[in-house]
Amino acid sequence: MSGRLIAVSNRVAIPRGGQAAGGLAVGVLAALQEYGGIWFGWDGKTTDSEPHDARLQHDGNITYATINLNAGEFDAYYNGFSNETLWPLFHFLLGFFRYNRHNFEAYLRVNALFARKLVPLLEADDILWIHDYHLIPLAAELRRAGVTQPIGFFLHVPFPSFDVLRALPVHEHLLRCLCSYDVVGFHTQRDLRSFQECIAQPQIGAQILSDGRVRAGDRTLRADVFPIGIEVDTCARLAVENAGKKPVERLRQSLLGRRMIMGVDRLDYSKGLPERFNAYERLLEHYPGNRGDVVLLQIAPPTRTGIRTYAEIREELERIAGHINGRFAEIDWVPVRYLNRGFDRGMLMALYREARVGLVTPVRDGMNLVAKEYVAAQDPDDPGVLVLSTLAGAAYELEQAVLINPYDTDGVAEGIQTALEMSLGERRERHAAMLEVLTRNDIQTWRTRFVDALSSVRGEPGP
């Protein structure tokens, strides 16, 4: 790749102490370190006045370029259209779906603002990599501004089928915006098929070519599967390095030899948390031998404060956890430990390593990196077992997990029991198979394949 990489995301995650937080941030930062370039996006601050031009912060061959946003525009663009409209729609959760034309118009204006602030920073040899549902219209805005460089888009959430997407009054506009990109990437074949189904509708009229490319009007783009991975060796190293820290030691001592079941999720209705708690209660009902012998540790830091739906989820989880503890707890045993706050990544890896069962049960998820990190953090000689929702993208890769349907309360309870009873030999065999998949499809593979695809648009050899 001869030029720079320009990464654009809703929020720029400037690493602290040289370390990115994980997921998107790790992959983007590694790509920028290799190729050099700019990470552009919102700085996390709002203003009552006109947003300023991009502020630049240089760190080696990376420039962080950040802008602020008008407070009212941000609320309508982010809390409104992005997270009350697109998020539930893309997760097939129409009961939470809300559409407001004012919010959509703000969404378009913020994307136009991103384009205006980004264009002056671009050079002729750049390639652009846009991330996630907040910025679907950005390529169309950049094309209108005269940008001809290759532009790619990666969707970090699921892509819905046409019967779901058509609930959105402006779905045709968004589909046409996606056709302004040169490369469009998804986590799974399921998402790719849904996208192809949507753009092949008569209203859009795109043609799926024999080589998998898409012809839409006078443009031809590549749509493909690029499953995001993790830093496998880093997860394993952090798990070992943090195993002796005092909080982990205190947890280990407090368990008194009990087996720990662990879940880590943002406090979001797509994560299936009430269903998970109900399944754990069913486990204690149907398999009473677990009473006094297992503990569910659920970490669920708050997210998207200010949206009523998320406050309701928190209240519901606190109610269910209290109900389970009130029903089953003994003087020396509390069945649910529910923590409504976050922990640093190293601590989480060490906690994963302590857990006999990793419980990942979203009702819909694009990938779910917690599932992958749990596997990577395990002790290969005595690994825990992953219980994983079939509705998470990770289930397409981690076939050796105990796979469950999160809506099946009895089935999830049975899956947990299967994991608790699994022999050491089977646990080792399943873990080794999943670890091999994670190593083959790690975060470096993800970002290299995507940048290769973008480079090929210009006829360059990949890096």
- For domain 232-440, the CATH superfamily is Glycogen Phosphorylase B; (3.40.50.2000)
pLDDT tens per residue, range 84-118 = 999 999 999 999 999 999 999 999 999 999 999 99
Quote the crossing angle between the two packed helices 232-241 and 424-440, to the nearest 10°. Answer: 130
Question: Residue 302: CB partners within 8 Å, gap ≥ 6?
Answer: 267, 310, 314, 340, 341
Continuous segment of H or E residues that includes residue 37: strand 37-47
Residue 49 DSSP code: S
pTM above 0.85? yes
For 5-229+443-457, CATH number? 3.40.50.2000
Span 243-257, mean pLDDT?
Answer: 95
Task: With cut-offs at 50, 70 and 90, classify the pLDDT of residue 311.
Answer: confident
Sheet holding 37-47, edge to edge: 55-59, 62-70, 37-47, 5-11, 127-131, 151-154, 183-186, 219-225, 213-216, 207-208
On the 0-12 / 13-18 / 19+ scale of CB atoms within 10 A, 235 is buried
Active site residue 365: yes
Q: How far is CA 301 from the centre of its chain?
A: 15
Half-sphere exposure in the Cβ direction for 239 (13 Å, CA): 21
Q: Which of 265, 365, 431, 442 is catalytic?
A: 365
Domain segments of the chain: what residues?
Answer: 5-229+443-457, 232-440
Q: Which two three-digit tokens encode residue 51? A: 């947003």
Pairing type for strands 213-216 and 219-225 reads antiparallel
Distance of alpha carbon 370 from alpha carbon 52, whole angstroms: 36
pLDDT tens per residue, range 118-146 = 999 999 999 999 999 999 999 999 999 99
User: Within 10 A of 418 (CB to CB), how many other CB atoms are there?
Assistant: 15
Q: Which two three-digit tokens encode residue 97? A: 């779906």
Span 310-333, mean pLDDT?
Answer: 94
Q: Which of 17-31, 186-200, 350-364 has the lowest mean pLDDT?
A: 17-31
Domain 5-229+443-457 and domain 232-440, same fold? Reply is: yes
β-partners of residue 263 are 298
Task: With cut-offs at 50, 70 and 90, classify the pLDDT of residue 65.
Answer: very high
Q: Which of 156, 171, 187, 431 is catalytic?
A: 156
Q: What share of the chain is helix, strand, coil (3-state, %, to 5)?
A: 45, 20, 35
Active site residue 452: no
The pair phi, psi for residue 356, each rounded to 5°, is -70, -30
The dihedral through the CA atoms of 430, 434, 435, 440 has a sign that is: positive
3-state SS, one letter per residue, for 322-372? HHHHHHHCECCECCEEEECCCCCHHHHHHHHHHCCEEEECCCCECCCHHHH
| Matching residue, tokens 């009430």 | 274
